[in-house]
Amino acid sequence: MSSFSAFESPDSAATAAIDAAITTRHSMRAYLAQPVERALIEDILRVASRAPSGTNTQPWQVHVLTGAAKARLSQRITAAYDDPEELATHGEEYAYYPREWVSPYIDRRRKVGWDLYGLLGIAKGDKLRMHEQHGRNYLFFDAPVGLIFTIDRVMQQGSWLDYGMFLQNIMIAARARGLHTCPQAAFTQFHRLIADELALKPEQQLVCGMALGYADPAAVENSLVTEREPVAGFTRFLDAPLKG
């Protein structure tokens, strides 16, 4: 692969490789059992740590779960998720989604949901299979690596923006190495359980989880590619003052 320094422009091969890592990143929901070596995980996190952050605060904290540790967390969350009474005692610590949905966001949300369920043959109203499919989040979709991300509570909104760039860097760096990911806000509902299982400090707040591994090419759900708005749909180009 081509390389370039901080003051050089990437050549066409490097540009194509970067673009490919970005555009072939999809949220994969089924993984092979093939393990991911610790050195590779560390390499991905090292590259991702180059994400920008205000005054270099670097607010990210990563908890890497594999083997028995991942299985134990998945078991505890799944048990809570499948018990209606216990499930009712859990709730998100922060609002990831809007309190009130409006177009076009609710339309996009519904479409991706029904596109996924359609691929899986889950009919509208089949609450049991919907519950089971959502529950696969807590198995990290069978990925060999589960990532849990936390942030210190003293950090404010700007640091969460920085955190998003760090998460994106992980996903792109993983893709460049032949792996796939699925960022998962589903874990936020069980923040108290996760804090207990991972022995988090009181000042550590759960941000999200993420599955990491080699995607199963035979899994139909991995064929889902969500739509994106064209540039003209979300961009304004201004080359003159709007007011005199």
Dihedral sign from CA coordinates of 89, 140, 206, 99? negative
Residue 52 in this model has a pLDDT that exceeds 90: yes
Q: Residue 1: which pLDDT band, with cuts at 50, 70 and 90?
A: very low
CATH of domain 27-93+138-222: 3.40.109.10
Residue 167 in this model has a pLDDT that exceeds 80: yes
Q: What are phi and psi of 208, to 5 degrees?
A: -175, 180
Q: Residue 43: which pLDDT band, with cuts at 50, 70 and 90?
A: very high
Dihedral sign from CA coordinates of 129, 134, 139, 142? positive
- Print burial letters for 136-171: b (CB count within 10 Å at least 16), e (below 16): bbbbbbbbbbbbbbbbeeebeeebeebbeebbebbb
- Condensed to tens digits (0 to 9), the pLDDT of residues 131-166 reads 999 999 999 999 999 999 999 999 999 999 999 999
Q: Residue 2: which pLDDT band, with cuts at 50, 70 and 90?
A: low
Q: Residue 75: which pLDDT band, with cuts at 50, 70 and 90?
A: very high
Q: Which residues pair with 150 in a beta bridge?
A: 61, 206
Query: What is the percent of the chain with per-residue pLDDT over 90, rounded to a whole number?
Result: 93
- Condensed to tens digits (0 to 9), the pLDDT of residues 193-218 reads 999 999 999 999 999 999 999 999 99
Identity of the amino acid at 108: R
Range 16-35 average pLDDT: 97
pTM for this prediction? 0.95
Dihedral sign from CA coordinates of 113, 115, 119, 122? positive
Q: What are phi and psi of 231, to 5 degrees?
A: -55, -40
